[in-house]
Structure 1
Amino acid sequence: MGMLLGIAAFCAAMMGGMASAQDGQLDITFGRNGLVSTDFSGNSDQGRAIMVQPDGMLVVVGFAQSGSVFDFGVVRYTSLGPRDLTFGTSGKVTTDFGISHDRAFAGALQPDGKIIAAGFATNETGGIDFALARYNSDGTLDTGFGANGLVITDIGGDDEILSVELQSDGKILVAGFSENPSTFLRDAILARYNSNGLLDGSFGTGGVVTTTFGTGDDVFTSVTVQADGNILAGGYADGPLDLDFALARFTPSGSLDATFGTGGKVLTPIDVLDDFINALAVQQDGKIVAAGYIDNNIDFKFALARYTTTGALDPTFGTGGKVVTGFASGSSEGRDVQIAISGKILVAGYIFSGTNNDFGFARYNSDGTLDATFGTGGATLADFGLGFDEAYALALQPDGKDVAAGFAFNGANFDFGVARLTSSDVPLPVTLTSFTAEVEDGAVVLRWVTESEIDNEAFLIDRRRDGEDFIRIAEIPGQGTTTHRTEYEYIDRQVIEGETYHYRLADRDFNGRITYHENILTVTVGEVDFRQRDAVAKVFRVRPNYPNPFNPETTIPFEVPSAEAEDRTILLQVFTTTGQVVKTLFDGTLSGGVYEVEWDGTGEAGQPVSSGVYVVVLRNRRLS
């Protein structure tokens, strides 16, 4: 889909100040009229990644020039824009790997507040290798990671990390390339590290996966993890005629997923010449959005493609799954993409204003058309005022505001630059992606998953039976504020066989506001699932349980001869050694045979019992 906008019109509107509530305007509550720039030591510095902490602080990762070389650079800002002076030195940290140039292009924020920066470091031979650094929340290097907080990995050529993603198990995925120093051809690389910084030997070959799409350059610029644990990586590769969008999906072990595209890979030509993916995002429905730019030998333009879960282009998006957006004033390049809670797609990068490059943003509806409620005609600029400014990274705050990081010209060289835009696309306190109920071993097991939580103190579980009102049966602590996927489970053991129950879920914030989720689950508790073994019972007895000792479950076999079972009630109970009933495992009629039942180590109220010795008693009520 081709789009052409006149940039001059919306530049003038921004300079004059717009009085409407239109999204995409600079947030005047942040920094100086929505903009913040940071100089490290009077030289050239660039921000390349931005993360939002649960407390609202912003972390920007990039590189800073020190003398004639570059080092990793990290800055932390408060939610209002000033640097956080409790971080590093005056809010800034630089890290020198020791040889020459070191540059960070990617960053990730761990749930414990530690910060990962990734890029490359120069080695002793003058080549470059994968490099990672991990920082504590105060900006000091984490000595429990790699060698005193630093990791260097030689893939075999000149190697750069361009993207990093944290898995839910704490492992660290990175994507980039390795360039052969003789042929200068690049191979796309994924690597996975354990949380201590060592390569994960269960991934690929020794922790590394190399992917080729053809005979030319192959580069991964972005990596993300799907909800099912599969890994998506995107970038660019040589197609039949030129460079194309390149996308691949891998299993959690690093093998190409044969159910995706062709053998796990997809090549997509967007325009007649070169096309580049810079970022990936996965929608709530599992569709995959790739954002970047095209180079048609005249200028650059924003470019997007959306794929189904199997890797096919989505025909409901743009034209045949593709969107290209040009701007009348000149070149533009999409560098990062985020999916808003409404499903709208926000892309950040740069747009030529007619004089200089500025931070450039465009927001799209879910069908690929530009969103007229954002900026002017769907796009807006952020100009730091002194020259070329370009955004490389984008994040969405929990309050819905958009923050981007990159570099801003200061009149002599470049500084870290951060811009924040207004947005009315405010997310719900909790993004709930699933809520299920199942009957297991005579109890109802409720499970739910959240993708993010804002100010969430607790989940509330209500239950009712047919003809009755809801009653509150449990409170489960929430995660406060988090952008990480969280799985929850609650087991309701206070249910009766044959009854139907209805469950609803709510969340409560720290101000006491309660939000109920719409879906109400209904389940009927069936009979206890006994396993009848193919054997003839000769005596009325309990056999030895297994395992024994046990924690927390054990299986109890017992025999009921046919003569004992006819029209009689069988009672199987667990007692303490002092004769107190702990739990009734079965009370009903059975045909003759050998049975097994599991005891989960809980009492009648569902509470775990203490360690000790227990007695199982089998009775025929006819003889009691």
Structure 2
Amino acid sequence: MRSDRHLPLLLSTTLLGFASAHAADGDPDPGFGIGGYAASGTTGYVVDAVAIRPDGRILTCGDDGFTGPGEGFVVMQFRADGTLDPTFGDQGVTHVVFDPADDTCTGIAVQPDGRIVVAGYVRSPAIPAGSLYAPAAARLTHDGAPDPDFGDGAGKRIYALRHIVNAMALQGDGKILLAGMSLAAHPYDFSVLRILADGTPDPEFGTDAQVTVSFVGTTSQDQAEAIAVDDQQRIVVAGTADAGGASAIGVVRLLPDGQPDSAFGNDGQVRAGNDALHYGAFGNALVLQRDGKIVVAGGRNSLASPFANSTAVRLQEDGSVDTTYGDQGATDIGFSPAGVPDTSFESAAIRQDDGKVVLAGVAFDADDHKYATVARLDTQGQVDASFADGGSTIIPLADAQHPSQWFSALALSDGRVVAAGFVDDESGTIGGFSGLLVRLQSDLIFFDSL
């Protein structure tokens, strides 16, 4: 592990202007990091996933941002105040290296016993011929060391499948679900792989531990981006059904054994987000409500505009569109960075204790500069004007010349939202990426859970 990976990232003092003692709900929390912002301290690091420990410490997982081979999954632990935790790994950082080629971490979760599961995909000689990527998972002890009880004895395992992993979820029984896209044949399909608590594939799930779902009528590719387990242990997966010109938000619900849930949609699958005024919808994030309804966030195109808007769609428990939500079942959210028409979409979503849904993602201006965004919807799908700047806002991650800024993951810490992402200074040099965390003020810190 190279010691020069841990160079301090200097946050501009300009950021302090965005926090004050009177910060409103949804503004950066001045009690976290520097004015609400915490830097990874590692150049070239792209944060893709975040999880919160019961004691408030924050875990992130990502990759090295193309700074070179061999760095693998990059797992970091921060104290609740936003500083790196030196008791974890090597001064707060652990590298999980599967192969000299690219390793991409897309999921992180904390087990009830405190051990940490990370997952994603790798390029490896273990992959079947004809594909570049395979699923990979690892488990760390509470202090960031490899867990010898998982995988190959070194705490990790590559699975010889042609499968990209975009999301991960833990079941209550300790089994691990990895969702993404099967590359075994074209058109590509939703894919869910289930592994046992020791890292071995689960032979009782689907075929050889994998379930693939092809949406009816699709001709291009179906890709899962989010996965969750409901209180009946049913598996809900969301993403995009057919990435061609007729793409839609795709949602699948599986029974605990991996079989399609016939009580949901059309034999377990639903396509949503398109109507007489919209086309080309796609899903990236998933929230399960306590009443069984499902909120999927992503983006969609409008026939009235060439720009895509962030969107959230809600489904009833049976998979039908909930027309009481937003505008006939969906809410579009605009950000308009720099005062020009924009393209935006949501990458992450999380449900607060009061049932409101916080979304995070990115907006693009006319010059293709990228801006990290957050928004909150109330329980009826309306933009919540009490949050941040009128319900939806751009969060400036750095004071740089036209930087690319992006939120990719959300978590809740004592009622406050932690958004994880990265900023690229667009210098064109290796190491231009830097991982960042932002904690937002919340009026739910003293809120009693429903």
Question: Would the TM-score normalized by the shorter structure come out above 0.5?
Answer: yes
1:167 aligns with 2:171: yes
2:379 alignment partner in structure 1: 366
1:332-363 deviation digits (Å, cap 9, x = unpaired): 22011111111111101123478842321001
1:118-139 deviation digits (Å, cap 9, x = unpaired): 1111112672100111111111
Local SS of the residue matching 1:327: coil
Equivalent of residue 287 in structure 2, options 281, 284, 305? 281
Give the letter for the 1:77 counterpart. F
CA contact (8 A) 1:245 1:268 kept: yes
1:419 aligns with 2:434: no
Give the letter for the 2:360 counterpart. A
1:58-112 deviation digits (Å, cap 9, x = unpaired): 0001112575225211110000011000111110111211231111011111111
Distance 1:325 1:18 in 2: 27
Shift of 1:327: 2.4
1:594 alignment partner in structure 2: none
CA contact (8 A) 2:404 2:425 kept: no
2:103 alignment partner in structure 1: 102
Distance 1:360 1:291 in 2: 13
Distance 2:27 2:321 in 1: 32
Give the letter for the 2:148 counterpart. T
- Bigger relative contact order, structure 1 or 2 (CA pairs below 8 A, ≥6 apart): 2
CA contact (8 A) 2:361 2:372 kept: yes
Equivalent of residue 221 in structure 1, options 222, 225, 229? 225
Residue-pair matches, total: 413
Find runs of 4+ consecutive structure 1 residues off by over 6 angstroms: none
Shift of 1:240: 9.2
CA contact (8 A) 1:314 1:320 kept: yes
Distance 1:129 1:76 in 2: 26
2:420 alignment partner in structure 1: 405
Shift of 1:381: 2.4
Equivalent of residue 394 in structure 2, options 364, 367, 381? 381
Distance 2:82 2:222 in 1: 38
Distance 1:24 1:354 in 2: 26
Equivalent of residue 251 in structure 1, options 242, 255, 264? 255
- The residue correspondences of 1:92-171 to structure 2 (distance < 5 A) are 92-124=93-125, 127-147=132-152, 148-155=154-161, 157=162, 159-171=163-175
Distance 1:241 1:122 in 2: 29
2:73 alignment partner in structure 1: 72
Q: Quick one: structure 1 residues 123 and 54, their matched pair in 2 at CA, closer, same or farther if it must change by over 3 Å?
A: same
Shift of 1:411: 6.5
1:389-445 deviation digits (Å, cap 9, x = unpaired): 1010001112x111011112356411111111001023656x47xxxxxxxxxxxxx
1:260 alignment partner in structure 2: 264
Give the letter for the 1:385 counterpart. D
Shift of 1:19: 6.7
CA contact (8 A) 2:138 2:156 kept: yes
2:45 alignment partner in structure 1: 45
Q: Return the structure number with greater strand share.
A: 1
Output the TM-score relative to the length of structure 2: 0.86
Q: Quick one: structure 1 residues 240 and 31, their matched pair in 2 at CA, closer, same or farther if it must change by over 3 Å?
A: closer
- The residue correspondences of 1:153-552 to structure 2 (distance < 5 A) are 153-155=159-161, 157=162, 159-180=163-184, 183=186, 185-213=187-215, 214-238=218-242, 242-270=246-274, 272-295=278-301, 298-329=306-337, 330-352=342-364, 356-383=369-396, 384-386=398-400, 387-398=403-414, 400-410=415-425, 412=427, 413-426=432-445, 428=447, 431=449
Q: Quick one: structure 1 residues 112 and 282, their matched pair in 2 at CA, closer, same or farther if it must change by over 3 Å?
A: same
Local SS of the residue matching 2:72: strand
Local SS of the residue matching 1:143: coil
1:527 alignment partner in structure 2: none
CA contact (8 A) 1:341 1:426 kept: no
Give the letter for the 1:191 counterpart. L
Equivalent of residue 29 in structure 2, options 27, 30, 43? 27
Shift of 1:380: 2.4
Local SS of the residue matching 1:273: strand
- Residue segments in structure 2 that go unaligned for 5+ positions in a row: 1-13
CA contact (8 A) 1:24 1:380 kept: no
1:82 aligns with 2:83: yes
Output the TM-score relative to the length of structure 1: 0.63
Shift of 1:172: 0.6
Q: Quick one: structure 1 residues 307 and 223, their matched pair in 2 at CA, closer, same or farther if it must change by over 3 Å?
A: same
2:11 alignment partner in structure 1: none
1:503-524 deviation digits (Å, cap 9, x = unpaired): xxxxxxxxxxxxxxxxxxxxxx
CA contact (8 A) 1:26 1:33 kept: yes
Shift of 1:388: 1.5
Give the letter for the 1:207 counterpart. A
Distance 1:272 1:265 in 2: 20
Distance 2:18 2:98 in 1: 46
Distance 1:39 1:167 in 2: 33
Shift of 1:191: 1.0
CA contact (8 A) 2:361 2:374 kept: yes
CA contact (8 A) 1:104 1:120 kept: yes
- Residue segments in structure 1 that go unaligned for 5+ positions in a row: 1-11, 433-624
Q: CA RMSD in A?
A: 2.4
2:10 alignment partner in structure 1: none
355-364 or 218-227, which moves further after superposition? 355-364
Give the letter for the 1:219 counterpart. Q
Distance 2:425 2:436 in 1: 10
1:356-399 deviation digits (Å, cap 9, x = unpaired): 4232100111111111111111012221222211010001112x
Q: Quick one: structure 1 residues 172 and 427, their matched pair in 2 at CA, closer, same or farther if it must change by over 3 Å?
A: farther
1:537-594 deviation digits (Å, cap 9, x = unpaired): xxxxxxxxxxxxxxxxxxxxxxxxxxxxxxxxxxxxxxxxxxxxxxxxxxxxxxxxxx
Shift of 1:217: 0.5
Q: Quick one: structure 1 residues 16 and 353, their matched pair in 2 at CA, closer, same or farther if it must change by over 3 Å?
A: farther
Local SS of the residue matching 1:127: coil
Distance 2:383 2:318 in 1: 26
